[in-house]
Amino acid sequence: MSNKILQIVLEGLIMGGIYALISMGLTMQYGVARILNVSHGEFIMVGAFITWMLTTMAGISPLLALIICMPVTFLIGYILHRTLYKKLKDLTPSAGAYEGNAMLISFGLMFIIQSVAQKIWGSSPQGYKYLTFSFKIGKTAIAVNRLFVLFVTIIISVIFYFFLNRTRMGKAIRASSQDPAAAGMMGIKINRVMAICFGIGAILAGIAGSLLSMINNINTSMGMNYTVIALIVVVLGGLGSIPGSLVGGLILGFVGSIVNRIDTSLYMVVFYVLIMVLLLVRPKGLLGR
Amino acid sequence: NKAGKTETTDPPSVDENVGTEDTGKDTQPAAEKESIVFGGVRSQSGVFATFDETAFGPCYRMWADKVNAEGGIYVEEYGKKLPVELIIYDDKSDMATMTRLYEKLILEDKVDFLLPPVSTAFLYATAPIADKHGYLLIGAEGGSTTLLDSIAQYPGFFSVLNFSVTQVPALVDILVENEIESAYIVYIEDLHGTEYSGASKPALEEVGIEVHGMKAIPPDIQDMTSIINDAIDSGADAFLLFAYPDQNFLAMNQAMAMGYNPDVFLVGPGGNFEFIKGVFGGAEAVEGLMSWGGWNEKSSEKAAQFAKEFLEYNKDDPKVSIDWWGHLPYYTGLEMLQQAIEKAGTLDNARVIEVLKSEKFDTVMGEVWFENQLLASECYLGNVGQWQNGIFEVIDVGENRTADPIVPKPAWPAE
Amino acid sequence: MPILNATGVSKAFGGLKAVSQVDFHVAEGEILGLIGPNGAGKSTLFNLISGAIPLDSGTIMFDGVKISGKKPDKICRLGIGRTFQTAQNFAGMSLRQNVLMGALFGKKGQSATQAAADVDEILDFVGLTELCDKQVSDIPLAYQKRLEVARALATKPRLLMLDEMMAGLNPTEVAEAMELVEKIRNSGITVIMIEHVMKAIMSICDRIIVLHHGQKIADGTPQEVSSMGTVIEVYLGQ
Amino acid sequence: MPILEIENLNCFYGNVQVLWDVSLKVEKSEIVALLGANGAGKSTLLNTIVGLVPPKSGSIRFMGEDIVNLSGSEIIERGISYLPEGGRLFPDMTIRENLELGAYPMKYWKSRKATLDMVFDMFPILKERQKQLARTLSGGEKQMLAMGRGLMSNPSLCLLDELSYGLSPLMASEVFDIVKKLREQGITVLLVEQNVRQTLEIADRAYVLENGRICLEGECCELIENDFIKTAYMGM
Amino acid sequence: MNTNISRGRLNAKKIAPPGLSLLALILLSLLPIFVTDYTIIKINSIISFVIIAVSWSIFSGPTGYISLSTAAFYGLGMYASAILGNHLPLPLVMVISGIASFIIALIIGVITLRLRGVYFTIFTFGLVELLRNLILWLEIKFSGTRGRFVPSVDFQQVFYCILGTLAIILLISYLIKRSRFGLALIGIGESEDAAAHIGINTTLVKVLGFSISSFAVGAVGAAMATRTNYIDPGIAFNMLMSFMPVLMAIFGGMSTIPGPIIGAAVFAYLEELLITKVPEYFMIIFGAIMIIAILFLPNGLTGIAGKLFKRRKGAGKNANT
Ligand SMILES: Nc1ncnc2c1ncn2[C@@H]1O[C@H](COP(=O)(O)OP(=O)(O)OP(=O)(O)O)[C@@H](O)[C@H]1O
Ligand SMILES: Nc1ncnc2c1ncn2[C@@H]1O[C@H](COP(=O)(O)OP(=O)(O)OP(=O)(O)O)[C@@H](O)[C@H]1O
Ligand SMILES: [Mg+2]
Ligand SMILES: [Mg+2]
């Protein structure tokens, strides 16, 4: 019995942690930069493939590859915002129209990134072995690579939390998400902050991708699934709420690990029913206002 | 880029062809015919792109180039060899696009022959279209027992891949031979998964192998810890997973990590590809793993020759690796079509269909023929394979066997 | 008989009792002032009356009909119009169209021609005729509030609730607004107004209710209320 | 030398001219009031000073230097702080975080602890409730916080837009007291208000803006007796 | 309707004159005489997208409630076709499927339309995923299979059915735009609170709007299923189907009737063109065109038409003075 509970908790934490990372990334992008980034999952895929390439071809440890991934994905995100989205912003005066158009642009990006990736890396599943051994707690076998992923997720979340709550840039980001115009009046360079947020969103996606590649095989069309999960978690948690994303991601992870034990194929059904019921009870998400 | 493909982006040649064809394909022996046009709609992007990239895709490209290198296919009607021309469209893994584009191939491009789309469901959708317009269609990827019920409706439809009908009995024989007493079945919730699991359970139980568990998994599963744990707890001798590479590899990864190593570990499509070794860091990682399919260089001289040519042809494309299940039958299908055209001496699909139904063909698989529109089961060189020392050995009970099965499976290699 | 009668009205947001156990009535034809410190629950009370948010407990009767529990559109059609503290207009439409919306939907069976005729009259009544073809987003906030009044009037209310219509006006503009309110009352419409501008409240209201922490702490004529110690202490200051 | 000097400023929103040849001066340690009807252009003038609205022509000099082409953050660094209409607090951040953001430009960020103490001295209630979220404050507390946030950049000039908007009479007088406190600290104030009487009581000088033009200026003690002001802006 | 309303600013944007649309419909219906079979098939598929985009913008355009439930109703239509197609003629299947979609949308609307903004959007999105997974699960658990054949129907018959649906949806869209109901939808989009407080029954209007916009989607799904021959839950409930109308409507320009029509037609045609001419680079080019189009036509395709028109008018004015 206690074995089962331990398994459920670990499983829930591991997948929930990854979902949370992904969703926090999307929250950064939507909450501040107002971009419902449909290509978010593609950044996950890119992160995963960079890690895979560095690991299998250059023989670098996946952990090191993950660290290399961070500046790369950040730069892609930052530059994309500084060019495309900045230009769009200058061209679209109304906030509503900007949101719609920004989503369209990210659709275009999704097509392009996925297709380019497919040209480079192909469409077949890829993978590598990393820490594929286990130890036992009681009767429960615990895979070390998954535990490691959990560990990294926790560290990243803590760093991210401190960044947002304790640093000057973090506070500027939060302020911008609540009232961008007033943030501008404080002397915050709002365009830069948005680009940074977009970049951070991309980093979080990249990290998630890296981590996923350590425990799962990857392929170039994997992105969309994660985009969907991120969208749902972000709304479940409450738009723009970073803690909401964290909680939402973990809930999703736990629901998954519990339902998996009852009937794996009901997983998605239960999950969506849960989301819909929750939204009806709390129309602004768990931690939304 | 392969020669056949570049031609698809070259509309003039297609248009010329259409022009000549417009005057009536069946009525006049059009003397100016310059090539035989084969058209297909393949998923070159989206979730099914991996099929075109690794399964049938490399085969038809290689075949077209090889035929053209020999000057083409001799068609008596025209009194000369006609080169093969390919028109391949991308359906972006979308069914509606796929069916529409087949109609374009037929109605607008007026191709001479059709090449199949990816996967079973897509084949199902295409068969009625081909049939309606009198085209023959030799399916590649996919096949299922549901097909058997409807295949007679579409007399021009043929299938070359072996599937549960021959594979499940072969597997059961192997399990019995190795005194396996119990099995744990996991299957993906789709046509393929339901079919294999549906066929296996009664077959296993009939010979007295207990089925300890039977779990369905969704295609987007991310974590199989609970399933592996359940399989461990069930204590079953054999772990049978009827799913696709994504799920199969996830299960293998987690089984390795959790140290789950049953006597028999079989995964569905995916385990039969050469590239699986790379995914898990080398041949020793998959030692003892079973999967469907089965042919290799030892199966026959012709098979060995094919493997050599295939590797030579694709040596510059790292994305292509050999498929020890499908590549041989896929290529065989193409050769059968080619020979049927030559034998019929015409591009008239109806006559070619007659030839395909009645004749035997000499192909990379040896002498083969269709029986009830399926490749006769005697033709196959193997139904179940097992990785042994980096070679995908055929372990069927009987004369196709290239190596004895290793049961129990050796332990996953330590990190 | 009072046109509006509320008993035991309560509303809590989470732990915060925004309005608690408030009883009051409004007599037909009067101007009732609603004052109280910021956050006292005045706007919330309006929201409860107009049906914008459901109440936790209590009943509100309008003209003998129980309106608590009804939806805003029903309540509007029964004859209660209102404005919002932060103006809520149809920003993409012209002023005329805004008022027309009120005229078209405010009463059942209103014909389009009749509605259009009403609109001109109302625009004139509130003094927005000149601006009527401008888009809402192009006019200053104070006018937007007046537009809301016009739109509410277009629904032909018998009771009109004005939420801080005079905020941000200078004393002269306040005087104009006061005139408008009296004009509205003289046309037979009962008015409840929330206001922090004491001068206006004291001079045009027949009666004043004071809310504090969601509770009614005073109810009386302007003179009575303004001399009450608690009111001075929590609201007016010295 | 006046701390702020505006000459012949013209401003447009699109094709609509909102400010016409506006000129005004603010001397050090003064409270200058800006009066005018709704839509007269008062907020626009303040927005132009802090660089949110680019002027078409005219000059704005702060401590003798032209600031027309500077970015918002540069203007803040020069020592102007702006308190927009409605306070514009960050509702989901604590009082302390809101204050810190007032010192966002690097120049002030480093010394934010010291400034924070100064602000807390001025508004002890903010210190008590440092951890409270801005959204949960009462109207008057919000205005205090907004002012405190404006002071975090050690401004020499504060631009205040409609401080008493929507406040109860009690709160309003508290807020006017605070403005007086600012002057005591040596901070110059340019104040936009609708509460004309109370404003004229605390301010030194005032300008009256009508339809985008300055139509009257003078010492407050005189203006309060001015007939035009009385009829047009005090409703007498 | 009174001229005062249609003269106003919102309606000043040119509504496609019904006469012109009628002419276009008649021309389209004569098409099979003049063009090749495949052209009909292609146009048929483009029109189906036009219907979906127009349907979508009936509700989502004015209210700003971005619905991603199109795939749900489309998928239900496909299943209706697979189940009923053997027993009933296509037009009847379409009507049944349309009515079923209408009723289901009515129910869903009552539950969901208190959600606002992105919350509503994600809920509708979740609906599609829920249906897909639920039906998948039901099929596996109870019917033991996953896919179904759809009885085939002659493509010309499908074409006329689709064309009929187009006529109906254009008419509905036009009537709504001119009606009090349409005005109420716009009011809800501008300010829902204000709308409720001037006597608009916002719930009723929203639910009805949502249901009307789902009706034709179900019907089209039923018709188009016959073109795919075979469906399974993954095919029927395809997320892309939900995104397409949104993309198309934004691409064309949302606030007018011609916007979604042009958007859908151009979009679908472009896709077909690229997919057949440059299959290998189709996705990259398609994505790039989308980005460039949005950057340079932020108000959609009809936006530039409007701008050109305005500019010419403005120039004329300047010349006069
Ligand atoms: N929707 C809501 N959710 C949570 N709290 C609310 C909500 N609406 C109002 N409140 C809270 O209820 C209390 C009363 O608010 P209300 O708006 O009624 O005050 P008020 O008397 O109108 O004040 P003011 O004069 O400042 O407008 C406040 O503390 C406010 O924060
Ligand atoms: N962003 C804007 N775009 C277009 N016009 C604007 C904008 N902001 C203000 N205006 C217009 O400019 C004029 C002056 O507005 P401003 O806000 O400066 O007035 P104000 O004196 O501050 O009035 P109030 O007392 O209402 O705050 C008004 O006619 C207003 O409608
Ligand atoms: Mg209020
Ligand atoms: Mg102002």
E97 domain residue, yes or no:
yes
Beta bridge partners of B82: B73
Which residues of chain A neighbour D153 with C-beta distances below 8 Å? Answer: 187
Tokens of E315: 């120039």
More confident of the two residues C9 and D164: C9
User: Considering only CA atoms, which residue is closest to atom 9 of ligand 1?
Assistant: C44
Dmax (CA) of chain D: 51
**Tokens 């979508």 correspond to what residue?**
E56
CA A279, A284, A285: angle at the middle one, nearest 5? 60
Is E255 a domain residue?
no
Residues of B in contact with E227 (CB under 8 A): 96, 99-100
Which of E38, E229, E283 is the closest to B125 by Cβ? E229
Q: Report the distance separating Cα A46 and Cα A220, nearest Å.
A: 8
State which amino acid sits at residue D130: Q
User: Which tens digits make up the pLDDT trace of A33-89?
Assistant: 888 898 999 999 999 999 999 998 888 999 999 999 999 999 999 999 999 999 988
Asked whether residue D84 is assigned to any structural domain, the reply reads no
What angle, 0 to 180 degrees and rounded to 10, lies between the N-to-C axes of helices E180-190 and E155-178?
80
| Token couple for C144 | 């937007």
Specify the higher pLDDT residue, B120 or C212: C212
The dihedral formed by the CA atoms of A47, A52, A53 and A59, expressed in degrees to the nearest 10 = 130
Q: Does the C-beta of C220 come closer than 6 Å to ligand 1?
A: no
Q: Which residue type is seen at B342?
A: E
Whether C2 and C25 have beta carbons less than 8 Å apart is answered as yes
Cβ burial, residue E72 (10 Å; 0-12/13-18/19+) = buried
pLDDT value at residue B348: 94
Q: Are residues D219 and D187 in the same domain?
A: yes
Beta-carbon neighbour count of residue D107 at 10 Å? 16
- Residues D141, D206 share a domain: no
Contacts of B399 (CB under 8 A, 6+ apart): none
Residue B338 has pLDDT above 50, yes or no: yes
pLDDT at position A209 is 96
Tell me which residues have their CB within 5 A of the ion that is ligand 4: D 43
Rounded Cα distance, A26 and B59, in Å: 42
- Which residue carries 């077949």 as its tokens? A124
> Vertex E267, ends E262 and E269: CA angle to 5°?
95
Cβ <8 Å between C196 and D167: yes
Q: Is C18 in the pocket of ligand 1 (CB under 6 A)?
A: yes
Q: By the 8 A CB rule, do C159 and C62 touch?
A: yes
Question: Could you tell me if E67 and E121 are in contact, meaning their C-beta atoms sit under 8 angstroms apart?
Answer: yes
The structure tokens 């269709």 sit at B370
Alpha-carbon gap: D224 to the closest alpha carbon of chain A (Å): 33
For residue B199, give the chain E residue with the closest CA.
E144
Higher pLDDT, C61 or A267: C61
Tell which atom from ligand 1 comes closest to the C-alpha of D139: 26
| End-to-end Cα spacing for chain A | 39
**pLDDT tens-digit readout, D31-48:** 999 988 888 889 899 999
Q: How far apart are CA B184 and CA A228, in angstroms?
A: 32
Give per-residue pLDDT as tens, A271-281.
Answer: 888 888 888 88
Kindly state whether E123 is in contact with chain A, defined as any CB-CB distance less than 8 angstroms: yes
Question: Which of B99, B132, B198 comes nearest E228 by C-beta?
Answer: B99
pLDDT-wise least confident of A164-168, C55-59, E12-16? E12-16
Inter-chain touch E230–B150, beta carbons under 8 Å: no
Residue of A nearest to D72 (CA): A187
What pLDDT does B407 receive?
85
Q: What is the CA radius of gyration of chain E?
A: 20
> Measured between alpha carbons, how far is B67 from B81 in angstroms, rounded to an integer?
10
Residues of chain E with pLDDT under 70: 1-19, 144-145, 303-321
pLDDT class for C224, splitting at 50, 70, 90?
very high
Instruction: Say if ligand 2 is within 6 A of residue C137 CB.
Output: no
Subunits touching E (CB < 8 Å, at least 3 pairs)? A, B, C
Q: What percent of chain A has pLDDT over 70?
A: 99
**Helices C141-154 + C95-105 axis angle, to 10:** 30
So what's the pLDDT on residue A192? 92
Q: Are D2 and D37 part of one and the same domain?
A: yes
- What is the SS3 assignment for A229? helix
Q: Are residues D31 and D69 in the same domain?
A: yes
Write the pLDDT tens digit of every residue in B67-105.
999 999 999 989 899 999 999 999 988 888 999 999 999
- Beta strands C215-220; C207-212: pairing state: antiparallel
Residues of C with Cβ-Cβ distance to D234 under 8 angstroms:
170-172
Task: Report pLDDT digits (tens) over D166-185.
Answer: 888 888 888 888 888 888 88
Specify the pLDDT at position E271. 86
Contact between residue B224 and residue B251 where contact means Cβ atoms under 8 Å apart = yes
Which of D52, D90, D100 lies at the smallest CB-CB distance from A178? D90
In the complex, which subunits touch D with 3 or more CB pairs below 8 angstroms?
A: A, C
Dihedral, E153, E159, E163, E164 alpha carbons, nearest 10: -30
CA distances (Å), origin B301, targets B35, B55, E185 = 32, 22, 74
pLDDT surpassing 70 at residue B8:
no
CA dist., res. B192 & res. B268, Å (int): 9
* A124-138, A231-245, E79-93, E243-257 — most confident range: E79-93
Residue B385 forms beta bridges with which residues? Answer: B291, B394
From the list A43, A212, A44, the residue with the least C-alpha distance to A127 is: A212
Classify the C-alpha dihedral B250-B256-B259-B265 as positive or negative: positive
* Overall average pLDDT of the B258-281 stretch: 89
Question: How high does pLDDT run on average in chain A?
Answer: 88
For residue E199, give every residue at least 6 positions away whose Cβ sits within 8 Å of its Cβ, in sequence order, or none: C73, C76, C77, C102, C105, C106, C107, C155
* Within-domain flag for D173: yes
Domains of chain C, each with CATH number or no CATH: 1-79+159-238 (3.40.50.300), 87-156 (no CATH)
Whether D17 and D129 map to the same domain: the answer is: no
* ipTM greater than 0.90: no
Confidence of residue B406 (pLDDT cuts 50, 70, 90): very high
CA-closest candidate to residue A29, choices A189, A199, A167: A199
Q: Which two tokens stand for residue E313?
A: 């008018």
Q: Is E126 within the bounds of a domain?
A: yes
Domain tally, chain E:
1
Strands C190-194 and C16-26: unpaired
Q: Is the pLDDT of residue C129 over 50?
A: yes
Give the SS3 label for residue A260. Answer: helix
Q: Return the structure tokens found at B153.
A: 């409706």
- Could you read off the pLDDT of B19-56 as tens digits, one per residue? 344 444 444 455 578 899 999 999 988 888 888 888 99
User: Which residues are D59's β-sheet partners?
Assistant: D7
Residue with CA closest to ligand 1 atom 6:
C13
Q: What is the pLDDT of residue E123?
A: 82
Environment class of C29 (CB within 10 Å of its CB; exposed 0-12, middle 13-18, buried 19+): middle
Looking at CA atoms only, how far is residue E302 from chain C in angstroms? 19
Q: Give residue D197's identity as a one-letter amino acid code.
A: R
Question: What average pLDDT does range C94-103 have in this prediction?
Answer: 93
Residue E302 lies in a domain: no
Residue C191 has pLDDT above 50, yes or no: yes
Q: Are residue D10 and residue D35 in the same domain, yes or no?
A: yes
Task: Report the pLDDT value the prediction gives residue A53, as an integer from 0 to 100.
Answer: 93
Q: What is the DSSP string of B62-90?
A: HHHHHHHHTT-EEEGGGTEEE-EEEEEEE
Is D138 found in the same domain as D167?
no
The pLDDT of residue E310 is 54
**Contact between C192 and C32 (Cβ < 8 Å):** yes
D166 and D61 within one domain: yes
Written as one letter, the residue type at D181 is K
Residue E205 lies in a domain: yes
Domain-located, residue D170: yes
Ranges of each domain in chain A: 23-221, 222-289
CATH number at residue D236: 3.40.50.300
Residue of the CA atom closest to atom 27 of ligand 1: C38
Residue B35's closest CA among B49, B15, B61? Answer: B15
- D171 shares its domain with D61: yes
What is the Cα–Cα distance from D143 to D175, expressed in whole angstroms? 8
Burial class (CB in 10 A: 0-12, 13-18, 19+), A192: middle
What is the band of A287 on the pLDDT scale with cuts at 50, 70, 90? confident
Mean pLDDT of A23-28: 92
Query: pLDDT averaged over chain B?
Result: 87
The residues near A68 (Cβ < 8 Å, ≥ 6 apart) are: A50, A54, A60
Ligand 2 test: best mutation among D42, D160, D161, D207, most atoms within 8 Å of CB? D42
What pairs with residue D218 in β-bridges? Answer: D206
* 8 A C-beta contact, residue B41 and residue B89: yes
Strand C80-82 versus strand C159-163 pairing type: parallel
Q: Is residue E74 part of a domain?
A: yes
- Residue D14: pLDDT band with limits 50, 70, 90: confident
User: From the CB of C39, is ligand 1 less than 6 Å away?
Assistant: yes
Task: Report the C-alpha gap between A253 and A233 in whole angstroms.
Answer: 10
Phi, psi angles (nearest 5°) of residue D219: -70, 145
CA of E3 vs chain A CAs: smallest distance (Å): 30
Could you list the residue range(s) of the whole structural domain that residue D140 is in?
Answer: 90-154
Residues 89-108 of C with CB under 8 A from E: 89-94, 96-97, 100-102, 104-107
At CB < 8 Å, which residues of chain A contact B? 7, 10-11, 14-15, 56, 114-115, 118, 121-129, 131-134, 140-146, 215-217, 219-221, 225, 256-257, 260-261, 263-265, 267-268
Of ligand 1's listed atoms, the one at least distance from the Cα of C196 is 25
User: Reduced to 3 states, what is the DSSP secondary structure of residue D233?
Assistant: helix
Structural domain for E221, as ranges: 39-238
In the structure encoding, which two tokens stand for residue E15, read together? 């509504």
> What Cα–Cα distance (Å) separates residue C177 from each residue in A82, A115, C139, C142, D211?
49, 63, 17, 10, 20
Which pLDDT score is estimated for D236? Answer: 61
Give the chain A residue nearest B225 (alpha carbons).
Answer: A11
Domain count, chain D: 2
